Amino acid sequence: MAYRERRVGAPRRHATSLGQHLRKWRTVLGLTLDDVAVKIGRYFTAVQKWELGINKVSMKELELLGAAYGVPAIALTLDPVDRAHVDRLIRANRILENAPGDVADAWLLYGERKLRRPRKPPAR
């Protein structure tokens, strides 16, 4: 079993890509660390440590950030630059949140079946 040494005093890194996405969301929206901290009721250093991957982000904190940024929390796991993908995820999330369980299951099953079908080559 391999053992990875960690320098004493070196910060642990958690979910760096999530932190990178969080920072991109903030900067794309033109917000400072202080702006976000005020909106979610935390210190700016907490936001900074999430973005740097030093501290883990809880689901509750992710939901607070999503509300502050005007998107569902799950959207924060994606790069905000790929806006078309983010918008599709937001639309899908809205459907799942508002549909009764059986309708949501049928909708998901339909999507999964569409993905499994081989695509037909274009007619010549």
Q: What is the pTM of this model?
A: 0.68
Contact 73, 62 (CB under 8 A): yes
Q: Above 80 in pLDDT, residue 121?
A: no
Helices (H) and strands (E) in the chain, counts: 6, 0
E-state strands within 1-124: none
pLDDT top residue among 55 and 7: 55
Using an 8 Å Cβ cutoff, are 67 and 8 in contact? no
Domains, the chain: 16-116 (1.10.260.40)
